[in-house]
């Protein structure tokens, strides 16, 4: 328990103070929107609203899970309420970080509780896949999932898949055998939506197909090209062997643009496209490729750590302005129309996708 809480502090510290991003891009430089000299719409009429898991949101952007596990008044508590309040005011979904700390140390539950400042926000809880492995030290099941959701009055739960991070950290939980079966059991036992979520290494078509088969409601692909959890663990490593391993795997994974195309082509799961989403043009590309929402984490950490609700909103509204401008220039007056605009895919992403999907089929129909 003590270790989990300490670990969370260290992660936030490193993410605030060091460069923990991948050294490679998330692939969207190979995806091209096509400029339309006659958009045939008025910029003012553009509507950015979307539906996701039965709720309507003002913008297609989600703040994905980062933290929790401190006492009331401390850093994780502050970050979560700041993000939740911004998400409430913007009417966008928000996720808390791993609730494992709250299961191990119930007295930290209030650092995840945001309903007093965000009564209506679409709130996503968060637990880690390895805790559902059949060899987990304490195996979680339906009971822990329901506790995580109901104690904080969440609307859905995300189960994070983080084998990369766990594999490069000394105290990592690498008990992934039996996770899929456990998720199937949870899915068939609870009424809340279940989101399967990566943490920066991307979801492959193989995994996405399995998740769809057990009835998972949505996937957050969290691809390579943004925050690198191997990067974070590099700074936490206690010796050279650990540092070497983490450095070697710093840029491991499937780029966000590639993961998005694979999952969109092979499943009809709603997709949250995250991992290095840092501007509204890139977000327009992801939505055009078939994502329902884009997700961000690191870009809002800094203002959130200062308790700056307006600062969090400013970051997101900056993306919104750019997204809207890109939509104007391709002549899409809503997100549905954006999914039908022509796209060109070049370079590395094209080479990869030619071996993994029918690229022309994908470009022809992406929704």
- Which residues of this chain interact with ligand FNR, rule CB under 6 A? 11-12, 15, 64-67, 97-98, 126, 158, 160, 197, 199-200, 222, 226-227, 274-277, 296-298, 301
> Measured from the CB atom, is 198 or 262 closer to ligand FNR?
198
> Measured from the CB atom, is 297 or 357 closer to ligand FNR?
297
> Measured from the CB atom, is 83 or 349 closer to ligand FNR?
83
Give least dist CB 358 to ligand FNR, A: 28
Task: Say if residues 216 and 196 touch (Cβ distance below 8 Å).
Answer: yes
- Whose CB is nearest to ligand FNR? 226
> Measured from the CB atom, is 65 or 93 closer to ligand FNR?
65
Give least dist CB 54 to ligand FNR, A: 22
Nearest of 41, 60, 28 to residue 344 by alpha carbon: 28
Give least dist CB 33 to ligand FNR, A: 21
Residues facing 227 on adjacent strands: 21
Give least dist CB 340 to ligand FNR, A: 27
> Measured from the CB atom, is 46 or 254 closer to ligand FNR?
254
Pairwise CA distance, residues 227 & 18, whole Å: 11
> Measured from the CB atom, is 69 or 290 closer to ligand FNR?
69
> Measured from the CB atom, is 98 or 292 closer to ligand FNR?
98
Give least dist CB 12 to ligand FNR, A: 5
Pairwise CA distance, residues 84 & 118, whole Å: 6
Give least dist CB 21 to ligand FNR, A: 7
Q: What is the 3-state secondary structure (H, E, C) of the chain?
A: CHHHHHHHHHHHHHHHHCCCECCCCCCHHHEEECCCCCCCCCHHHCECCEEECCEEECCCEEECCCCCCCCCCCHHHHHHHHHHHHHHHHCCCEECCCCHHHHHCHHHHHHCCCCCCCCCCCEEEEEEHHHHCCCCCCCCCHHHHHHHHHHCCCCEEEEEECHHHHHHCCCCCCCCCCHHHHHHHHHHHCCCCEEEEECCCCCCHHHHHHHHHCCCCEEECCCECCECHHHHHHHHCCCHHHHHHHHHCCCCCCEHHHHHHHHHHHCCCCEEEECCCCCHHHHHHHHHCCCCEEEECHHHHHHHHCCCHHHHHHHHHHHHHHHHHHHHHHCCCEHHHHCCCCEEECHHHHHHHHCCCCHHHHHHCCC
Give least dist CB 360 to ligand FNR, A: 30
> Measured from the CB atom, is 100 or 333 closer to ligand FNR?
100
> Measured from the CB atom, is 276 or 290 closer to ligand FNR?
276
Cα radius of gyration (the chain): 19
Give least dist CB 67 to ligand FNR, A: 6
The tokens describing 118, both together, are: 């965000």
């Amino acid at each position: 328990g003590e270790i989990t809480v300490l670990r969370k502090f260290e992660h936030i510290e490193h993410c605030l103070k060091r460069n923990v991003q991948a050294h490679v891009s998330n692939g969207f430089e190979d995806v091209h929107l096509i400029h339309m000299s006659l958009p045939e719409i008025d910029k003012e009429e553009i509507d950015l609203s979307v539906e996701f898991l039965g709720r309507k949101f003002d913008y297609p952007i989600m703040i994905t899970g980062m933290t929790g596990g401190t006492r009331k008044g401390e850093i994780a508590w502050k970050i979560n309420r700041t993000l939740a309040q911004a998400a409430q005011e913007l009417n966008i979904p928000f996720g808390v970080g791993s609730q494992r700390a709250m299961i191990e140390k119930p007295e930290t539950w209030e650092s995840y509780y945001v309903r007093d400042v965000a009564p209506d926000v679409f709130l996503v809880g968060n637990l880690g896949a390895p805790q559902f492995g059949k060899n987990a030290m304490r195996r979680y099941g339906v009971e822990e999932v329901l506790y995580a959701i109901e104690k904080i009055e969440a609307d859905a739960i995300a189960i994070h898949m983080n084998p990369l991070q766990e594999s490069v950290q000394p105290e990592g939980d690498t008990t992934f055998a039996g996770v899929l079966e456990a998720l199937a059991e949870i899915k068939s036992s609870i009424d809340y939506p279940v989101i399967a979520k990566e943490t920066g290494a991307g979801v492959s078509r193989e995994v996405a197909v399995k998740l769809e088969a057990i009835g998972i409601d949505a996937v957050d692909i969290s691809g390579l090209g943004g925050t690198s959890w191997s990067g974070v663990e590099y700074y936490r490593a206690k010796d050279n062997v650990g540092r070497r391993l983490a450095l070697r795997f710093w840029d491991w994974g499937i780029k966000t643009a590639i993961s998005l195309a694979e999952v969109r082509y092979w499943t009809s799961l709603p997709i949250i496209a995250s991992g290095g989403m840092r501007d509204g043009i890139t977000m327009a590309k992801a939505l055009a490729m078939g994502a329902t929402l884009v997700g961000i984490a690191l870009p809002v950490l800094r203002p959130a750590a200062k308790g700056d609700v307006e600062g969090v909103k400013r970051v997101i509204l900056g993306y919104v302005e750019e997204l809207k401008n890109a939509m104007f220039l391709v002549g899409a007056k809503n997100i549905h129309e954006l999914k039908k605009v022509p796209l060109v895919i070049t370079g590395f992403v094209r080479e990869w996708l030619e071996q993994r999907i029918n690229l022309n089929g994908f470009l022809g129909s992406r929704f």
